[in-house]
Amino acid sequence: MIKKSITRIAAGIFSFTLIVNTCFAVHTDKMVSAATTVKDVTSQVELLGNPFNKATFAKNVWDMQVYNNRIYLAHGDFNTNAGPIPVIYYEPSAQKFITQYTVDEEEIAQYKVMDGKLYIPGTDSRGDWNNGNFYTLEDNDQWLKNATIPNALHVFDMALYNGQLYAACGTSKTGWGEVLVSNDMGKTWTSRVPLGFTFYGSWATSLFELNQTLYASGKMMYMKPTSITTSYTKYVSMLGITDSSSARQIYSTNFANGLTSSYVYYMKKPTTFQNKLVYLNNRITTSHWLPDSMYIAKSINESTKVIFPETSAVPADLLIRGNSLYVLTNVKNSAGNYTSVVYQTTDLQTWNEVFRFNTDTFARSFEEMNGDFYFGLGCDSATVAASTGNILKVASSAYQDIPLIPVINNPSMSELTPSTAELIQTIPSSTTAPIIVDNTDSSFISNSTWTITTQSVGYYGSNILNDGTAGADQGKWAMWVPTIIESGNYQLYMRWTADSTRPAAAPLEIRYNGGVDTSKTVNQQENNGTWVLIGTYALSAGSDQYIKILCSSPGYTAADAIKLEKVN
- Please report the pLDDT score of residue 537 as a whole number: 92
| 187 has a pLDDT exceeding 80 | yes
76 or 499: which carries more pLDDT confidence? 76
CA distance 71 to 67: 6
Torsion of CA 549, 553, 556, 561, to 10 degrees: -20
> How confident is the model at residue 168, as a pLDDT?
95
Distance CA 108, CA 83 (A): 9
Q: How far is CA 525 from the centre of its chain?
A: 24
pLDDT tens sequence across 353-363: 999 999 999 99
Segments making up each domain of the chain, as ranges: 435-567
- CA dihedral defined by 438, 443, 449, 452, rounded to 10 degrees? 20
CA–CA dist 88, 73 (Å, integer): 6
**What is residue 260's predicted lDDT score, i.e. its pLDDT?**
64
Q: What is the pLDDT of residue 209?
A: 94
- Find the mean pLDDT for residues 166-179: 86
The answer, yes or no, to whether residue 1 has pLDDT greater than 50, is no
> What average pLDDT does the chain have?
84
pLDDT of residue 430: 46
Helix, strand counts (H, E) of the chain: 1, 44
- pLDDT-derived band at 428 (thresholds 50, 70, 90) equals very low
Confidence band for 544, pLDDT divided at 50, 70 and 90: confident
What is the C-alpha to C-alpha distance for residues 558 and 527, in angstroms, rounded to an integer? 13
Residues 259-300 pLDDT 10s: 766 678 888 999 999 899 999 988 876 556 788 899 999 998
DSSP notation for 426-481: ------SPPEEEETTSTTEEESS--EEE-SSS--STT-EEE-S-SS--TT-EEEE-
Answer for the pair 165, 186: CB distance below 8 angstroms, yes or no.
yes
Q: Which of 103-117, 134-148, 221-235, 300-314 has the lowest mean pLDDT?
A: 221-235
Distance of CA 271 to the CA centre of its chain: 7
- In one-letter notation, the amino acid at residue 469 is T
Give the lowest-confidence range in 65-69, 220-224, 536-540: 220-224
Q: Where are the beta strands (DSSP E) in 285-384?
A: 289-299, 302-307, 314-321, 324-334, 337-345, 352-359, 363-369, 372-377
**Mean pLDDT of the region 420-429:** 32
> Fold for domain 435-567?
Jelly Rolls (2.60.120)
552: left (phi over 0), alpha (psi -120 to 50) or beta: alpha
Mean pLDDT of all residues in 2-27: 31
pLDDT digits (tens, 9 = 90+) for 224-261: 777 777 766 777 788 999 988 999 888 888 888 877 66
Tell me the per-residue pLDDT of 323-336, one tens digit each, with 9 for 90 and over.
Answer: 899 999 999 999 99
Confidence of residue 171 (pLDDT cuts 50, 70, 90): confident
> Using CB atoms within 10 A of its CB, is residue 121 exposed (0-12), middle (13-18) or buried (19+)?
buried
